[in-house]
Structure 1
Amino acid sequence: MSLTSQETDQRIQMLNQRFADVISAHVVTIGDDIYRRYSIQANVGENVMPDDKEGSRNIDNTPRTEWASENVTSYFSEEAYKSMRTTYQASEKEIGRIGDDTPVYFAEKGGIYYMRDPQTRLVLEVWLTWPSYPLGWD
Structure 2
Amino acid sequence: MTNMTSKLLYSKEHEWVEMIGKDLVRIGITDFAQQELGDIVYVENPEEGEDITAEESMGSVESVKAVSEIFSPVTGTVVKINEELDDEPELINTNPYDQGWFVEVKITDFEQLDSLMDEDAYNSLINEGDA
TM-score category (smaller protein): under 0.3
Which one has a bigger Cα radius of gyration?
1
- Identify the structure with the greater helix proportion: 1
What's the TM-score, normalizing by structure 2?
Answer: 0.27
What's the TM-score, normalizing by structure 1?
Answer: 0.26
